[in-house]
Amino acid sequence: MAVLEIITAPDPILKKKAQSVELVDDNIREIMDNMLETMYHDKGVGLAANQVGISKRIIVMDLQDEDEVERPEGFYPLFMANPTITDCSKEMIEATEACLSVPDQKIVVSRHVSVKIKYLDYNNESKELESDGWLARAIQHETDHLEGKLLLDYLSPLKKNVAIRKLTKLKKFSA
């Protein structure tokens, strides 16, 4: 396994819609493993493949410490290829989110309280999962990434410009 470099905004790959995975094979599993190691290394709870420069519809998540629900052993980490939200609650809820690709920003986002998702798991098996709480929020955050949507896109145009300027400066200093 390897820790990959996390791509931060503004970078065009983060704005690009990711491509579907045909089959979860050893190549895809290797990407999943590396993504998970990168996520743990950078202390995130979720990561989408385009955040490490791979434009494929893959996400990994581990909300062990945040989850309000008692999960069966082995539930986490979650590996998902082609995650698709198939149903969601009308009810929305606001909370503050952070993103490894948008450093030093905390942004309030309104999300569906609960979502149902289908995906291919680590073994290429088709799975369905109903979720609420932080897991539902994380799923919506990560599937946004696959559509090329970032936390910044939830800001007003003015606030977004300010945030992008800050991020660009941050990049210059860390380059």
| Contact status: 14 vs Zn ion (CB under 5 A) | no
Other Cβ atoms closer than 10 A to 173: 6
Q: Provide, rounded to whole angstroms, the least separation between the CB of residue 77 and Zn ion.
A: 16
Whichever of 124 and 170 has its CB closer to Zn ion, that residue is 170
Whichever of 103 and 124 has its CB closer to Zn ion, that residue is 103
DSSP 57: S
Cα–Cα distance between 146 and 18 in angstroms, integer?
5
Q: Determine whether 125 is an active site residue.
A: no
Whichever of 32 and 99 has its CB closer to Zn ion, that residue is 99
Site for Zn ion in 62-121 (CB under 5 A): 99
Category of 65 on φ-ψ map: left (φ > 0), alpha (ψ -120 to 50) or beta: alpha
Other Cβ atoms closer than 10 A to 50: 26
Q: Which residues lie near Zn ion (CB under 5 A)?
A: 99
Catalytic residues: 142
